[in-house]
Amino acid sequence: MANDNQTDAGADTADLFRDEANEQWDAIDSFLAASLVPQDDVLDALLASSEAEGLPLIQVNPLQARMLWLLARTAGARSALEVGTLGGYSTVWLARAVTGAGRVVSIERDAHFAKVARRNLKEAGVDGVATVEHGEAIDVVSRLVDEGAGPFDFVFLDVDRVNNTDLLPLALQLSHGRTVIVVSVKDLLRETRGMVKFLRSQPQLAATAVQAIGSDGYHGFLVIVPDRH
């Protein structure tokens, strides 16, 4: 049996490796973002505004936002639904991705976050494309289904584990045969069990999961599309 000194030494070593890994992830993320994501004063100002208003800095990072933009552009999206606005960072990326007379509907449960996001979207010049709906995600998405607000070409779910699982069937009701759905998850093992079980019962859908490790820690994404084969 290890004594307390051995246990403490093991913990210290693990912390050291974790710190070194975090530094490496930070360096890689910084290099890739600087190389692949254009510098953007508007988005920098948005993040500064959100931080000044006390919003948590838990939005997708620049590389992930760029991925969402690329996926929406590849899908030729003219409309997008986002659940989890926060300060509107990813909302701006989606607003810039939709083509033509595009529209983005973003849902935020926190009244203060929604207020800040609306102001941020206006200052970013995309308030004519993107709107923020305030309310519980399930309630607002259910209302959108009842109102026939869909279909949307692109859906991004960025909320907690329970809501993501409950929201996915509703999101499908706001989709069509070419809709791309992206789900952000903080823990692929624990947070996706319900969604994976649901997806396995839906043979008309094709999905994959992507693990991601970077400056903001470990998380991942589910990408879901109709399986037309």
Instruction: Name which of 31, 45, 159, 32 is nearest 92 in CA terms.
Output: 45
Where the chain has pLDDT below 70, the residues are 1-21, 161-162, 228-229
The domain covering 41-226 belongs, at the CATH homologous superfamily level, to: Vaccinia Virus protein VP39 (3.40.50.150)
Q: What is the pLDDT of residues 151-174, one digit of tens each?
A: 999 999 998 766 778 899 999 999
SS3 category, 177: coil
What's the whole-model pTM score?
A: 0.88
Supply angle C-alpha 151, 157, 161, rounded to 5.
135
* Boundaries of every domain in the chain: 41-226
